[in-house]
Chain A
Amino acid sequence: MSLNDIPVHSASITTGNLRPVLHEIRHAFSELIAHGTHGMIDLHSLPFSPQEYAELDEFLGEGEIDLTLNVLGKTRLRESGYAGIWRVEHFDDNDNRIGYFIEIGHVPEILRSQCDDIKEGLAAMTTILAMEEDNNEDAIT
Protein backbone atom coordinates (compact mmCIF):
# COMPACT_ATOMS: atom_id res chain seq x y z
CA MET A 1 0.00 0.00 0.00
CA SER A 2 1.47 3.32 -0.99
CA LEU A 3 0.94 6.68 0.66
CA ASN A 4 -1.30 7.66 -2.24
CA ASP A 5 -3.68 4.83 -1.34
CA ILE A 6 -4.39 6.30 2.09
CA PRO A 7 -7.73 8.12 1.76
CA VAL A 8 -6.66 11.14 3.82
CA HIS A 9 -6.27 14.30 1.84
CA SER A 10 -6.29 17.91 2.91
CA ALA A 11 -9.14 20.09 1.83
CA SER A 12 -7.99 23.25 0.12
CA ILE A 13 -6.78 25.69 2.75
CA THR A 14 -4.75 28.84 3.04
CA THR A 15 -2.48 29.62 5.95
CA GLY A 16 -2.48 33.36 5.37
CA ASN A 17 1.32 33.40 5.11
CA LEU A 18 1.55 34.22 1.40
CA ARG A 19 0.78 37.94 1.55
CA PRO A 20 3.37 38.73 4.30
CA VAL A 21 6.00 36.77 2.38
CA LEU A 22 5.28 38.72 -0.79
CA HIS A 23 5.77 41.96 1.11
CA GLU A 24 8.99 40.63 2.65
CA ILE A 25 10.26 39.88 -0.86
CA ARG A 26 9.31 43.38 -2.02
CA HIS A 27 11.09 44.92 0.97
CA ALA A 28 14.27 42.90 0.30
CA PHE A 29 14.02 43.88 -3.36
CA SER A 30 14.03 47.59 -2.48
CA GLU A 31 16.96 47.02 -0.06
CA LEU A 32 18.93 45.45 -2.91
CA ILE A 33 18.39 48.52 -5.05
CA ALA A 34 18.98 51.06 -2.27
CA HIS A 35 21.93 49.47 -0.44
CA GLY A 36 23.02 46.49 -2.51
CA THR A 37 21.99 44.16 0.34
CA HIS A 38 21.68 40.52 -0.63
CA GLY A 39 18.45 39.13 0.78
CA MET A 40 17.40 35.59 1.52
CA ILE A 41 14.03 34.27 2.72
CA ASP A 42 13.67 30.73 3.99
CA LEU A 43 10.37 29.24 2.85
CA HIS A 44 11.01 25.68 3.98
CA SER A 45 9.93 26.14 7.59
CA LEU A 46 6.88 28.26 6.88
CA PRO A 47 3.50 26.61 6.89
CA PHE A 48 2.40 27.03 3.27
CA SER A 49 -0.37 25.15 1.59
CA PRO A 50 0.20 23.66 -1.89
CA GLN A 51 -2.24 26.28 -3.16
CA GLU A 52 -0.10 29.07 -1.71
CA TYR A 53 3.07 27.64 -3.21
CA ALA A 54 1.32 27.66 -6.57
CA GLU A 55 0.16 31.25 -6.07
CA LEU A 56 3.70 32.31 -5.12
CA ASP A 57 5.05 30.65 -8.25
CA GLU A 58 2.46 32.36 -10.38
CA PHE A 59 3.17 35.75 -8.79
CA LEU A 60 6.93 35.49 -9.30
CA GLY A 61 6.71 34.14 -12.83
CA GLU A 62 9.57 32.69 -14.85
CA GLY A 63 12.77 34.45 -15.91
CA GLU A 64 15.51 33.61 -18.38
CA ILE A 65 17.69 31.40 -16.23
CA ASP A 66 17.04 27.89 -14.98
CA LEU A 67 20.18 26.14 -13.70
CA THR A 68 20.75 22.84 -11.96
CA LEU A 69 23.88 22.28 -9.87
CA ASN A 70 25.09 18.92 -8.68
CA VAL A 71 26.19 19.80 -5.16
CA LEU A 72 25.35 17.32 -2.38
CA GLY A 73 22.33 16.34 -4.42
CA LYS A 74 20.77 18.71 -6.91
CA THR A 75 20.21 22.42 -6.44
CA ARG A 76 17.92 24.24 -8.83
CA LEU A 77 18.32 27.98 -9.37
CA ARG A 78 15.56 29.78 -11.21
CA GLU A 79 15.41 33.47 -11.86
CA SER A 80 11.89 34.76 -11.47
CA GLY A 81 10.11 37.13 -13.82
CA TYR A 82 11.58 39.91 -11.66
CA ALA A 83 15.31 40.21 -12.43
CA GLY A 84 17.22 39.80 -9.18
CA ILE A 85 14.67 37.55 -7.47
CA TRP A 86 15.67 33.89 -7.49
CA ARG A 87 14.10 30.66 -6.37
CA VAL A 88 16.73 28.37 -4.84
CA GLU A 89 15.62 24.80 -4.23
CA HIS A 90 17.89 22.21 -2.62
CA PHE A 91 17.24 18.50 -3.16
CA ASP A 92 18.78 15.36 -1.69
CA ASP A 93 19.94 12.35 -3.69
CA ASN A 94 16.40 11.02 -3.83
CA ASP A 95 15.15 14.30 -5.34
CA ASN A 96 13.27 15.22 -2.18
CA ARG A 97 13.24 18.97 -1.69
CA ILE A 98 15.07 19.67 1.57
CA GLY A 99 15.42 23.43 1.34
CA TYR A 100 13.61 26.26 -0.42
CA PHE A 101 14.86 29.84 -0.36
CA ILE A 102 13.99 33.02 -2.18
CA GLU A 103 17.19 34.98 -2.79
CA ILE A 104 17.24 38.61 -3.75
CA GLY A 105 20.52 39.60 -5.38
CA HIS A 106 22.48 39.69 -8.63
CA VAL A 107 23.18 35.95 -8.43
CA PRO A 108 22.40 33.32 -5.78
CA GLU A 109 25.22 32.98 -3.26
CA ILE A 110 25.83 29.33 -4.04
CA LEU A 111 26.59 30.17 -7.67
CA ARG A 112 29.51 32.47 -6.83
CA SER A 113 32.96 30.91 -6.82
CA GLN A 114 34.19 30.73 -3.25
CA CYS A 115 37.13 32.99 -2.30
CA ASP A 116 39.20 30.15 -0.82
CA ASP A 117 38.62 28.04 -3.93
CA ILE A 118 39.80 30.95 -6.10
CA LYS A 119 42.96 31.34 -3.98
CA GLU A 120 43.64 27.60 -4.09
CA GLY A 121 43.05 27.70 -7.85
CA LEU A 122 45.64 30.45 -8.30
CA ALA A 123 48.17 28.52 -6.21
CA ALA A 124 47.52 25.33 -8.18
CA MET A 125 47.80 27.11 -11.54
CA THR A 126 51.04 28.81 -10.49
CA THR A 127 52.52 25.44 -9.46
CA ILE A 128 51.47 23.75 -12.71
CA LEU A 129 52.91 26.53 -14.86
CA ALA A 130 56.19 26.48 -12.89
CA MET A 131 56.43 22.70 -13.28
CA GLU A 132 55.75 22.92 -17.02
CA GLU A 133 58.42 25.60 -17.42
CA ASP A 134 60.88 23.46 -15.46
CA ASN A 135 60.07 20.51 -17.70
CA ASN A 136 60.55 22.63 -20.82
CA GLU A 137 63.92 23.87 -19.59
CA ASP A 138 64.97 20.28 -18.83
CA ALA A 139 63.90 19.25 -22.33
CA ILE A 140 65.95 22.07 -23.93
CA THR A 141 69.09 21.28 -21.93
Chain B
Amino acid sequence: MRMQSPNPYEPTLGEHLRSQGISRRGFLKFCGLLASSMALAPAMIPKIAAALEQAKRPSVIWLSFQECTGCTESLTRSHSPSLEGLVFDAISLDYHHTLQAASGDAAEHAREEAMKEHYGKYVLVVDGSIPLDNPGYSTIAGISNLDMLKEAAAGAAAIIAVGTCAAYGGLPKADPNPTGAVSVSDIIKDKPIINVPGCPPIPMVITGVIAHFLTFGLPELDSLGRPKAFYGQSIHDRCYRRPFYERGLFAETFDDEGAKAGWCLYKLGCKGPVTYNACATTKWNDGTSFPIESGHGCIGCSEPNFWDFGGFYKAISIPTGASGKNAVYAAAAGIAAGVAIGAMNKKSKAEAASSHQTVTVEELNQESGS
Protein backbone atom coordinates (compact mmCIF):
# COMPACT_ATOMS: atom_id res chain seq x y z
CA MET B 1 0.00 0.00 0.00
CA ARG B 2 1.34 3.44 -0.76
CA MET B 3 0.05 6.92 -0.08
CA GLN B 4 0.34 9.52 -2.86
CA SER B 5 3.33 8.60 -4.96
CA PRO B 6 4.92 11.47 -6.87
CA ASN B 7 6.23 9.01 -9.47
CA PRO B 8 4.35 9.58 -12.76
CA TYR B 9 5.20 6.08 -14.05
CA GLU B 10 2.48 3.66 -13.07
CA PRO B 11 3.87 0.15 -12.68
CA THR B 12 1.68 -2.78 -13.55
CA LEU B 13 0.55 -5.06 -10.79
CA GLY B 14 2.93 -7.76 -12.00
CA GLU B 15 5.86 -5.37 -11.96
CA HIS B 16 4.92 -4.17 -8.53
CA LEU B 17 4.75 -7.70 -7.11
CA ARG B 18 8.13 -8.55 -8.64
CA SER B 19 9.62 -5.39 -7.14
CA GLN B 20 8.45 -6.81 -3.81
CA GLY B 21 10.53 -9.92 -4.47
CA ILE B 22 7.74 -12.14 -5.76
CA SER B 23 8.93 -14.28 -8.66
CA ARG B 24 6.83 -15.19 -11.68
CA ARG B 25 6.53 -18.68 -10.24
CA GLY B 26 5.24 -17.11 -7.03
CA PHE B 27 2.91 -14.98 -9.11
CA LEU B 28 1.51 -18.13 -10.72
CA LYS B 29 0.91 -19.64 -7.29
CA PHE B 30 -0.76 -16.40 -6.25
CA CYS B 31 -3.04 -16.51 -9.33
CA GLY B 32 -3.91 -20.16 -8.69
CA LEU B 33 -4.95 -19.39 -5.15
CA LEU B 34 -6.85 -16.35 -6.33
CA ALA B 35 -8.78 -18.44 -8.87
CA SER B 36 -9.52 -20.98 -6.17
CA SER B 37 -10.81 -18.29 -3.82
CA MET B 38 -13.00 -16.82 -6.57
CA ALA B 39 -14.39 -20.30 -7.32
CA LEU B 40 -13.11 -19.99 -10.88
CA ALA B 41 -12.11 -23.03 -12.89
CA PRO B 42 -8.38 -23.74 -12.70
CA ALA B 43 -8.30 -23.31 -16.49
CA MET B 44 -8.77 -19.58 -15.81
CA ILE B 45 -5.45 -19.30 -13.97
CA PRO B 46 -3.36 -18.38 -17.07
CA LYS B 47 -5.95 -15.74 -18.03
CA ILE B 48 -5.89 -14.26 -14.53
CA ALA B 49 -2.09 -14.23 -14.60
CA ALA B 50 -2.00 -12.47 -17.99
CA ALA B 51 -4.61 -9.88 -16.97
CA LEU B 52 -3.06 -9.14 -13.57
CA GLU B 53 0.42 -8.95 -15.05
CA GLN B 54 -0.68 -6.05 -17.24
CA ALA B 55 -3.19 -4.40 -14.87
CA LYS B 56 -2.33 -0.96 -13.58
CA ARG B 57 -2.34 -0.51 -9.85
CA PRO B 58 -5.71 1.02 -9.10
CA SER B 59 -6.14 4.15 -7.06
CA VAL B 60 -8.44 3.30 -4.18
CA ILE B 61 -10.26 5.82 -2.00
CA TRP B 62 -11.72 4.26 1.12
CA LEU B 63 -14.44 6.12 2.99
CA SER B 64 -15.59 5.04 6.46
CA PHE B 65 -18.98 6.23 7.67
CA GLN B 66 -21.19 4.76 10.44
CA GLU B 67 -19.03 1.72 11.12
CA CYS B 68 -17.00 -0.01 13.82
CA THR B 69 -13.76 -0.39 11.80
CA GLY B 70 -14.24 -4.15 11.93
CA CYS B 71 -14.10 -4.36 8.14
CA THR B 72 -10.70 -2.66 8.06
CA GLU B 73 -9.56 -4.84 10.96
CA SER B 74 -10.64 -7.92 9.07
CA LEU B 75 -8.51 -6.94 6.10
CA THR B 76 -5.43 -5.70 7.92
CA ARG B 77 -5.27 -8.43 10.57
CA SER B 78 -4.67 -11.16 8.02
CA HIS B 79 -1.33 -12.77 8.65
CA SER B 80 1.53 -11.98 6.35
CA PRO B 81 2.29 -12.89 3.70
CA SER B 82 -1.25 -13.74 2.76
CA LEU B 83 -3.00 -13.60 -0.56
CA GLU B 84 -5.25 -10.80 0.64
CA GLY B 85 -2.20 -8.98 2.00
CA LEU B 86 -0.49 -9.20 -1.37
CA VAL B 87 -3.48 -7.75 -3.20
CA PHE B 88 -3.95 -5.07 -0.57
CA ASP B 89 -0.29 -4.10 -0.83
CA ALA B 90 -0.56 -3.92 -4.60
CA ILE B 91 -3.24 -1.25 -4.69
CA SER B 92 -2.56 2.44 -4.37
CA LEU B 93 -4.59 3.31 -1.29
CA ASP B 94 -4.78 7.07 -1.58
CA TYR B 95 -7.19 7.77 1.25
CA HIS B 96 -8.21 5.77 4.30
CA HIS B 97 -8.59 7.93 7.37
CA THR B 98 -7.86 5.12 9.82
CA LEU B 99 -4.73 3.83 8.12
CA GLN B 100 -3.08 6.88 6.60
CA ALA B 101 -0.37 8.76 8.43
CA ALA B 102 -1.70 12.16 7.44
CA SER B 103 -4.51 13.73 9.42
CA GLY B 104 -6.69 16.81 9.35
CA ASP B 105 -6.35 19.08 6.32
CA ALA B 106 -3.47 17.05 4.88
CA ALA B 107 -5.60 13.90 4.86
CA GLU B 108 -8.53 15.58 3.20
CA HIS B 109 -6.18 17.22 0.71
CA ALA B 110 -4.86 13.75 -0.20
CA ARG B 111 -8.41 12.60 -0.90
CA GLU B 112 -9.17 15.62 -3.06
CA GLU B 113 -5.90 15.25 -4.99
CA ALA B 114 -6.48 11.54 -5.63
CA MET B 115 -10.03 12.19 -6.81
CA LYS B 116 -8.82 14.91 -9.16
CA GLU B 117 -5.84 12.95 -10.52
CA HIS B 118 -7.75 9.70 -11.11
CA TYR B 119 -11.18 11.14 -11.88
CA GLY B 120 -13.35 8.51 -13.53
CA LYS B 121 -10.83 5.73 -12.81
CA TYR B 122 -10.51 5.23 -9.08
CA VAL B 123 -12.22 2.52 -7.08
CA LEU B 124 -14.29 3.86 -4.21
CA VAL B 125 -14.54 1.55 -1.21
CA VAL B 126 -17.13 2.43 1.42
CA ASP B 127 -17.64 0.83 4.80
CA GLY B 128 -20.39 1.96 7.12
CA SER B 129 -23.93 3.16 6.56
CA ILE B 130 -25.00 6.73 5.86
CA PRO B 131 -27.31 8.58 8.30
CA LEU B 132 -30.07 10.56 6.61
CA ASP B 133 -32.03 11.80 9.62
CA ASN B 134 -29.46 14.35 10.74
CA PRO B 135 -26.19 14.98 8.86
CA GLY B 136 -24.50 15.77 12.18
CA TYR B 137 -24.76 12.15 13.34
CA SER B 138 -21.62 11.30 11.38
CA THR B 139 -19.20 13.71 9.73
CA ILE B 140 -15.60 13.69 8.54
CA ALA B 141 -13.73 17.00 8.57
CA GLY B 142 -17.10 18.71 9.00
CA ILE B 143 -18.46 17.10 5.83
CA SER B 144 -21.56 14.97 6.19
CA ASN B 145 -21.32 11.34 5.12
CA LEU B 146 -23.99 11.95 2.50
CA ASP B 147 -22.12 14.86 0.88
CA MET B 148 -18.78 13.06 0.96
CA LEU B 149 -20.25 9.92 -0.59
CA LYS B 150 -21.95 11.84 -3.39
CA GLU B 151 -18.80 13.83 -4.16
CA ALA B 152 -16.52 10.80 -4.17
CA ALA B 153 -18.96 8.61 -6.09
CA ALA B 154 -19.19 11.12 -8.93
CA GLY B 155 -15.64 10.36 -10.11
CA ALA B 156 -15.50 6.66 -9.25
CA ALA B 157 -15.22 3.91 -11.85
CA ALA B 158 -16.98 1.55 -9.46
CA ILE B 159 -17.99 1.41 -5.82
CA ILE B 160 -17.37 -1.50 -3.49
CA ALA B 161 -19.68 -1.40 -0.48
CA VAL B 162 -17.69 -3.34 2.11
CA GLY B 163 -19.52 -4.81 5.08
CA THR B 164 -23.20 -5.23 5.76
CA CYS B 165 -23.53 -1.62 6.97
CA ALA B 166 -22.46 -0.14 3.62
CA ALA B 167 -24.21 -2.85 1.62
CA TYR B 168 -27.57 -2.96 3.42
CA GLY B 169 -27.49 -0.57 6.40
CA GLY B 170 -26.28 -3.19 8.88
CA LEU B 171 -26.28 -2.62 12.63
CA PRO B 172 -26.94 1.14 12.45
CA LYS B 173 -30.11 0.37 10.48
CA ALA B 174 -31.34 -2.19 13.04
CA ASP B 175 -34.76 -1.46 14.43
CA PRO B 176 -35.57 1.32 15.36
CA ASN B 177 -32.84 2.77 13.09
CA PRO B 178 -32.20 5.85 15.22
CA THR B 179 -30.03 7.67 12.68
CA GLY B 180 -32.07 6.91 9.58
CA ALA B 181 -29.19 4.79 8.28
CA VAL B 182 -29.23 3.67 4.65
CA SER B 183 -26.90 1.75 2.38
CA VAL B 184 -24.70 3.08 -0.42
CA SER B 185 -27.05 1.72 -3.07
CA ASP B 186 -29.95 3.58 -1.48
CA ILE B 187 -28.20 6.82 -2.41
CA ILE B 188 -26.03 6.21 -5.47
CA LYS B 189 -27.96 5.07 -8.50
CA ASP B 190 -25.70 5.88 -11.45
CA LYS B 191 -22.54 3.87 -10.67
CA PRO B 192 -21.83 0.16 -10.58
CA ILE B 193 -21.95 -0.95 -6.95
CA ILE B 194 -20.58 -4.26 -5.73
CA ASN B 195 -21.88 -5.28 -2.33
CA VAL B 196 -19.42 -7.25 -0.20
CA PRO B 197 -21.50 -7.86 2.93
CA GLY B 198 -20.47 -9.60 6.11
CA CYS B 199 -19.92 -8.45 9.65
CA PRO B 200 -17.10 -8.26 8.84
CA PRO B 201 -16.60 -9.63 5.33
CA ILE B 202 -13.95 -12.30 4.75
CA PRO B 203 -10.71 -10.44 3.92
CA MET B 204 -10.04 -12.66 0.91
CA VAL B 205 -13.45 -11.74 -0.46
CA ILE B 206 -12.74 -8.01 -0.15
CA THR B 207 -9.46 -8.29 -2.04
CA GLY B 208 -10.83 -10.95 -4.38
CA VAL B 209 -13.43 -8.48 -5.59
CA ILE B 210 -10.71 -5.89 -6.22
CA ALA B 211 -8.67 -8.51 -8.09
CA HIS B 212 -11.71 -9.52 -10.12
CA PHE B 213 -12.35 -5.90 -11.04
CA LEU B 214 -8.73 -5.60 -12.21
CA THR B 215 -8.77 -8.78 -14.26
CA PHE B 216 -12.24 -9.22 -15.69
CA GLY B 217 -14.04 -5.99 -14.74
CA LEU B 218 -17.24 -6.06 -12.75
CA PRO B 219 -18.12 -9.48 -11.38
CA GLU B 220 -21.46 -11.10 -11.98
CA LEU B 221 -23.80 -10.09 -9.16
CA ASP B 222 -26.80 -11.70 -7.52
CA SER B 223 -30.12 -9.97 -6.86
CA LEU B 224 -28.67 -8.35 -3.73
CA GLY B 225 -25.67 -6.92 -5.58
CA ARG B 226 -23.18 -9.51 -4.26
CA PRO B 227 -20.56 -11.19 -6.47
CA LYS B 228 -21.78 -14.69 -7.25
CA ALA B 229 -18.22 -16.00 -7.15
CA PHE B 230 -18.23 -15.59 -3.38
CA TYR B 231 -21.91 -15.43 -2.50
CA GLY B 232 -23.32 -17.87 -5.03
CA GLN B 233 -23.93 -20.68 -2.59
CA SER B 234 -25.36 -20.80 0.89
CA ILE B 235 -23.28 -21.61 3.95
CA HIS B 236 -25.49 -24.66 4.28
CA ASP B 237 -24.71 -25.93 0.77
CA ARG B 238 -20.99 -25.99 1.53
CA CYS B 239 -21.20 -26.91 5.22
CA TYR B 240 -19.27 -29.98 6.29
CA ARG B 241 -22.12 -30.70 8.76
CA ARG B 242 -24.65 -30.88 5.93
CA PRO B 243 -24.68 -34.72 5.91
CA PHE B 244 -26.04 -34.63 9.50
CA TYR B 245 -28.80 -32.27 8.42
CA GLU B 246 -29.77 -34.62 5.62
CA ARG B 247 -30.01 -37.47 8.11
CA GLY B 248 -32.00 -35.42 10.62
CA LEU B 249 -29.21 -35.45 13.23
CA PHE B 250 -29.29 -32.19 15.19
CA ALA B 251 -27.67 -30.79 18.31
CA GLU B 252 -30.49 -29.77 20.66
CA THR B 253 -28.32 -27.82 23.12
CA PHE B 254 -24.77 -26.54 22.97
CA ASP B 255 -23.51 -29.25 25.32
CA ASP B 256 -25.50 -32.35 24.45
CA GLU B 257 -24.10 -35.46 22.82
CA GLY B 258 -25.14 -34.22 19.38
CA ALA B 259 -23.19 -30.99 19.83
CA LYS B 260 -20.14 -32.95 20.98
CA ALA B 261 -20.42 -35.20 17.96
CA GLY B 262 -20.53 -32.20 15.64
CA TRP B 263 -24.12 -32.65 14.45
CA CYS B 264 -26.04 -29.98 12.56
CA LEU B 265 -26.74 -26.75 14.47
CA TYR B 266 -29.97 -25.96 12.62
CA LYS B 267 -32.16 -26.29 15.72
CA LEU B 268 -29.83 -24.01 17.68
CA GLY B 269 -30.58 -21.13 15.35
CA CYS B 270 -28.03 -21.63 12.58
CA LYS B 271 -28.93 -19.32 9.67
CA GLY B 272 -26.69 -21.23 7.25
CA PRO B 273 -29.60 -22.36 5.03
CA VAL B 274 -30.59 -18.76 4.25
CA THR B 275 -27.16 -17.14 4.27
CA TYR B 276 -25.02 -16.72 1.19
CA ASN B 277 -21.31 -16.30 1.87
CA ALA B 278 -17.97 -18.06 1.41
CA CYS B 279 -17.18 -18.80 5.10
CA ALA B 280 -17.56 -22.57 4.73
CA THR B 281 -14.91 -22.74 2.00
CA THR B 282 -12.62 -19.74 2.50
CA LYS B 283 -12.88 -19.88 6.30
CA TRP B 284 -11.39 -17.45 8.82
CA ASN B 285 -8.16 -16.91 10.70
CA ASP B 286 -5.87 -18.13 7.94
CA GLY B 287 -8.22 -20.91 6.98
CA THR B 288 -8.45 -22.30 10.51
CA SER B 289 -12.22 -22.65 10.71
CA PHE B 290 -15.53 -20.85 10.47
CA PRO B 291 -18.18 -20.30 13.16
CA ILE B 292 -20.05 -23.58 12.58
CA GLU B 293 -16.76 -25.46 12.83
CA SER B 294 -16.27 -23.84 16.23
CA GLY B 295 -19.65 -25.14 17.39
CA HIS B 296 -21.79 -22.02 16.89
CA GLY B 297 -24.46 -21.53 14.27
CA CYS B 298 -24.16 -19.01 11.46
CA ILE B 299 -25.80 -15.69 12.41
CA GLY B 300 -26.49 -14.72 8.80
CA CYS B 301 -24.33 -11.60 8.85
CA SER B 302 -24.10 -11.23 5.08
CA GLU B 303 -27.85 -10.95 4.65
CA PRO B 304 -29.87 -7.70 4.81
CA ASN B 305 -31.45 -6.93 8.20
CA PHE B 306 -29.74 -9.85 9.92
CA TRP B 307 -29.85 -8.03 13.27
CA ASP B 308 -33.64 -8.10 13.07
CA PHE B 309 -33.97 -11.77 12.13
CA GLY B 310 -35.63 -12.44 15.47
CA GLY B 311 -32.82 -13.98 17.51
CA PHE B 312 -29.53 -15.69 16.73
CA TYR B 313 -30.62 -18.81 18.64
CA LYS B 314 -34.12 -19.11 17.22
CA ALA B 315 -34.39 -21.92 14.70
CA ILE B 316 -35.50 -20.92 11.26
CA SER B 317 -38.43 -22.89 10.00
CA ILE B 318 -38.50 -22.15 6.31
CA PRO B 319 -35.90 -23.80 4.13
CA THR B 320 -34.68 -21.97 1.05
CA GLY B 321 -36.87 -22.75 -1.89
CA ALA B 322 -39.70 -24.33 0.09
CA SER B 323 -42.99 -22.56 0.65
CA GLY B 324 -43.60 -21.63 4.26
CA LYS B 325 -46.96 -23.34 4.19
CA ASN B 326 -45.53 -26.67 3.11
CA ALA B 327 -42.79 -26.61 5.71
CA VAL B 328 -45.21 -25.86 8.53
CA TYR B 329 -47.59 -28.60 7.34
CA ALA B 330 -44.75 -31.09 7.19
CA ALA B 331 -43.68 -30.32 10.73
CA ALA B 332 -47.27 -30.36 11.97
CA ALA B 333 -47.78 -33.80 10.48
CA GLY B 334 -45.19 -35.10 12.87
CA ILE B 335 -42.50 -35.76 10.28
CA ALA B 336 -39.03 -35.33 11.70
CA ALA B 337 -38.30 -31.73 10.82
CA GLY B 338 -34.75 -32.22 9.64
CA VAL B 339 -35.49 -35.16 7.40
CA ALA B 340 -38.54 -33.47 5.93
CA ILE B 341 -36.76 -30.24 5.22
CA GLY B 342 -33.69 -32.06 3.98
CA ALA B 343 -35.80 -33.99 1.51
CA MET B 344 -37.54 -30.82 0.40
CA ASN B 345 -34.23 -29.12 -0.04
CA LYS B 346 -32.94 -31.93 -2.23
CA LYS B 347 -36.00 -31.63 -4.44
CA SER B 348 -35.89 -27.89 -4.76
CA LYS B 349 -32.13 -27.35 -4.67
CA ALA B 350 -31.70 -26.61 -8.36
CA GLU B 351 -34.72 -24.34 -8.38
CA ALA B 352 -33.57 -22.46 -5.29
CA ALA B 353 -30.04 -22.08 -6.61
CA SER B 354 -31.28 -20.56 -9.85
CA SER B 355 -33.77 -18.21 -8.27
CA HIS B 356 -31.53 -17.50 -5.23
CA GLN B 357 -34.52 -17.08 -3.00
CA THR B 358 -34.42 -15.43 0.36
CA VAL B 359 -36.94 -15.54 3.16
CA THR B 360 -38.58 -12.68 4.98
CA VAL B 361 -38.06 -11.75 8.60
CA GLU B 362 -41.64 -12.82 9.30
CA GLU B 363 -40.95 -16.28 7.90
CA LEU B 364 -37.76 -16.54 9.91
CA ASN B 365 -39.63 -15.73 13.08
CA GLN B 366 -41.91 -18.71 12.70
CA GLU B 367 -40.75 -21.61 14.78
CA SER B 368 -40.78 -25.15 13.48
CA GLY B 369 -44.13 -26.78 14.00
CA SER B 370 -45.79 -23.66 15.33
Contacts and interface: CB of A to CB of B under 8 A. Distances in A.
Contact of B243 (A13, A44, A93): A13
Contacts of A13: 240, 243-244
A93 B81 contact: yes
A114 B28 contact: yes
Interface string A9-45: 1110111100000000000000000000000111011
A8 B33 contact: no
Contacts of B29: 71-72, 75, 90, 99, 110
Interface residues of A, number: 37
Nearest to A93: B81
A96 interface: yes
Contacts of B83: 98
Given A72-B26, A90-B29, A92-B79, A40 B287 contact: no
Interface string A52-92: 00000000000000000101110100000000000000101
Given A49-B240, A71-B25, A94-B79, A101 B287 contact: no
B344 interface: no
A35 to B, nearest CB: 14
B238 A47 contact: yes
B106 interface: no
Given A41-B42, A99-B36, A6 B295 contact: yes
A138 interface: no
Interface in B41-100: 41-43, 45, 79-83
Contacts of A72: 22, 26, 29-30, 81
A19 to B, nearest CB: 14
A42 B240 contact: no
Contacts of A15: 240, 242-243
Interface in B180-236: none
A116 interface: yes
Nearest to B249: A11
Contact of A47 (B240, B259, B262, B294): B240
A126 B79 CA distance: 41
Contacts of A99: 29, 32-33, 36
A45 B36 contact: yes
A15 to B, nearest CB: 6
A9 B289 CA distance: 13
Nearest to A50: B240
A117 interface: yes
A11 B33 contact: no
Given A41-B42, A99-B36, A116 B260 contact: no
Nearest to A15: B243
B239 interface: yes
A54 to B, nearest CB: 15
A134 interface: no
Contact of B24 (A9, A69, A73, A114): A114
Given A8-B260, A42-B36, A71-B29, A47 B280 contact: yes
A92 to B, nearest CB: 7
Most chain B CB within 10 A, of A9, A47, A101, is at: A47
B259 to A, nearest CB: 7
A133 interface: no
Rank and list the top 10 A-B pairs by shortest CB-CB distance, nearest first: A40-B42, A10-B262, A114-B24, A45-B281, A72-B26, A11-B261, A8-B295, A71-B26, A13-B243, A99-B33
Interface of B: 22-26, 28-30, 32-33, 35-36, 39, 41-43, 45, 79-83, 238-244, 259-263, 280-282, 286-288, 294-295
17 contacts: A6-B294, A7-B260, A8-B294, A10-B262, A11-B261, A13-B240, A42-B41, A44-B281, A47-B239, A47-B240, A71-B25, A71-B29, A73-B81, A75-B29, A92-B79, A93-B80, A114-B28
Interface of A: 3, 6-11, 13-16, 40-42, 44-45, 47, 49, 69, 71-73, 75, 90, 92-94, 96-99, 101, 109-110, 114, 116-117
